[in-house]
Amino acid sequence: MEGVAKALGMSIVTGLSGNEIYCIHQLEMTPGDLVIGNSVFSMGFLGSIASAARTLAGGEVTQVTRVIHDGRKLALDRLLQETKQRGGTAVTGVTSELLWHGGGVEFLSVGSSLKHQSGELGEFSTSSGGQELFCQLDSGFKPLHFAFGNVAYSIGITGGLGGFFQSLARGEVTQYSEVFNKTRHLALERIEEDAKSYGANAVVGIRTSILPLMGTTEMLMIGTASHHPALGPQFSERPITSHLTCQEMWNLIHLGYMPVRLVLGVSVYSLGFTGGITAALRGFIRGEITELTTLIYDARENAILQIAKEADACGADEVVGIKTFISQLGGNMIEFMAVGTAVKKMDGIGTKSEQLPPQALVKDEDTVIKPSRVAGYSAKNLNTGS
């Protein structure tokens, strides 16, 4: 890329920060240009699929999943093509986004290309930025390819009616819990399958997002399909998955703990018809709303119990880095989701360095005030997707 840029008399334009450039320099890599891949689909086409999906009995809407998957994959392929055209041997910080443009939806992938001299690494793409890439490689994980898994789902008429009647009583709404739990695990299974297609035995740095999409909902997981030489052959059949940042993972690897499985638990609870009225009336009075307190507590306990069972099933020693999310579903119902990483002590693993450089840990500060903070507009940072 440097040679091409110099031949054309052009400067390299990268999305990497100063801290990231320092980190990739330690890996004997140099920055290349910002690279982009995109594809725009008609809202009419997507909308007709989503409208038909609303009549289903609930669960995955395979037509929408397939279209969204294909759109994301097309944008990613174009990003990788552009990386090669610009002389890059790798691309870091890859994102996969949906942007709405009036009558269309854009699938967008953005990253920063790199050039490296190490034939051992070969060509690769990763969702990790420059700082996380340093941590990943120093932990012994060789990045192979950006990986993702997605699922679009709907409650559907049957699930909606069943859930409606069950939601009249206080407690867990099992129809909704089952749909949400199944679809979230489907996304995890699909990122594992995507990673296997690249010869990986691990998916690290997984990030999860849940997006509303024309009457359905998409759950998306992105991460980096990787290979670690200390993992046995069984992990080629089912790669390890980690929801930890690569900095967190480095610390655990340094202590001899290997991530084994991303674990998650989902519970949907309802206040019930009577409980909803009672809570609403108590909202006019200062003090604790005990109905909500106990409801959220029960949902949390149930979700964390599911995580513990999944961790036990894969022989983990601990579950670390648990993140919890509460969503209001309407009708006096809430979804509680807990996500963590099950880890296990393993022999023969460790980090190359005794300490991480400060540049791998320092969080980059925004130096531009985004319009969304001052005028109600929304803006996207092309490098971070924030």
The model's pLDDT over 189-213, given as tens digits with 9 standing for 90+, comes to 999 999 999 999 999 999 999 888 7
pLDDT tens digits for range 72-96: 999 999 999 999 999 999 999 999 9
C-beta of residue 65 within 8 angstroms of C-beta of residue 150: yes
Per-residue pLDDT at 276 exceeds 50: no
Per-residue pLDDT at 5 exceeds 80: no
Closest CA to 130 of 246, 241, 225: 246
Give 34's pLDDT tier (boundaries 50, 70, 90): very high
Domain assignment of residue 130, yes or no: yes
Contacts of 6 (CB under 8 A, 6+ apart): none
pLDDT tens digits for range 364-376: 887 877 665 444 4
Domain assignment of residue 6, yes or no: no
Q: Return the pLDDT at 293.
A: 78
- Give the total number of structural domains in the chain: 1
The DSSP call for residue 117 is -
Fill in the amino acid letter for 327. S
Q: Cα 318–150–52 angle (5° rounding)? A: 140
C-beta of residue 160 within 8 angstroms of C-beta of residue 208: no
pLDDT tens digits for range 315-343: 999 999 999 888 777 666 788 889 999 99
Per-residue pLDDT at 71 exceeds 60: yes
Tokens standing for residue 370: 């985004």
Angle, helix 43-53 to helix 62-85, in steps of 10 degrees: 150
Domain assignment of residue 198, yes or no: yes
Give 105's pLDDT tier (boundaries 50, 70, 90): confident
Q: Return the pLDDT at 24.
A: 96
Tokens standing for residue 69: 């998957």
Domain assignment of residue 290, yes or no: yes
Per-residue pLDDT at 379 exceeds 60: no
Residues 331/332/333/336 CA torsion (nearest 10 deg): 150
Tell the residue number behind the tokens 């070969």, with chain if given. Answer: 122
Domain assignment of residue 86, yes or no: yes
Domain assignment of residue 143, yes or no: yes
Domain assignment of residue 354, yes or no: no
Structural domain for 27, as ranges: 12-348
Summary mean pLDDT of the chain: 83
Domain assignment of residue 203, yes or no: yes
Find the mean pLDDT for residues 166-194. Answer: 81
Phi, psi dihedral angles at 341 (to 5 degrees): -125, 120
Per-residue pLDDT at 55 exceeds 50: no
Rounded-to-integer distance, Cα 46 and Cα 69, Å: 12
